[in-house]
Amino acid sequence: MDSKLRRAPDAEWVLMYRLGLSRKRIAELVRAEPATVGYHLAIARRQDPGLEAGHLAAASTGTSPSPAGLTRMEEIIAWIEVEGRFPRYRSEDKGERSMARWLSDRRREAVDGTIHPVYRKGLARVPGWAGNHRAAADVARWQDRLAQLTAFRAAGNDWPRHHHYASDHERTLGVWIHAPRQKHLLGELEPAKIKLLDVAVPGWRTGRTRGRPVRR
């Protein structure tokens, strides 16, 4: 039996009902009397005339998100609000990678038109969540590489090389920084990226100078 004092209508119970769960099923999940759950839902229906229609529509699809799924969504939304960014696929943190995959699945559903209305409504609290996830992943990858290059230089290393490199890590960074250098020479590098590189790794435009002939 749920021993917590709950103010009617209980938001959790109302959400579960909106997702298509019956009064009996909600009572089983929260370990409360069906009559108590029914009392809360009766108040909720008076406050929200569209609640019953939402419940019936969700119940008819048989694909309502589970309470665990809703909890997961709230955890991810809270994480994004705290961190100020979306979770990254290539993060060293396993939990962050898991959140990135979950969010990617919801983006795919949004594109396909199969995302559940409750997920769509909940995630709408996060601006830009349903944007081009491939572009977002590219941005996150670029920022990760910049952070790695910054750490590489801060450790006292010279600019990484993409030829005659000492490690795979150096080669990866050398290949990565070579691309913006070439784009900058061609006038094709975005101003925002130029500014980020100038601040994080000053001198990135020329890189290694030892052994090079002087440009005229």
What does the pLDDT look like over 160-203, one tens digit per residue? 998 888 899 999 999 999 999 999 999 988 887 888 898 889 99
Residues 32 and 43 in one domain: yes
Residues 99 and 139 in one domain: no
Q: What is the pLDDT of residues 111-156, one digit of tens each?
A: 665 677 778 878 888 888 877 556 656 666 787 788 889 999 999 9
Split into its structural domains, the chain has a count of 3
Q: What is the pLDDT of residues 15-34, one digit of tens each?
A: 888 877 788 888 887 888 88
Residues 91 and 144 in one domain: no
Cα 51 to Cα 19, 20, 25, 59, distances in angstroms: 10, 10, 17, 12
Residues 37 and 78 in one domain: no
Residues 113 and 127 in one domain: yes
Domain of 107 in residue numbering reads as 67-131
Q: Which of 131, 148, 174 is the last residue of a domain?
A: 131
CA distance from start to end of the chain: 83
Residue 130 CB partners (closer than 8 Å, separation 6+): 106, 107, 110, 123
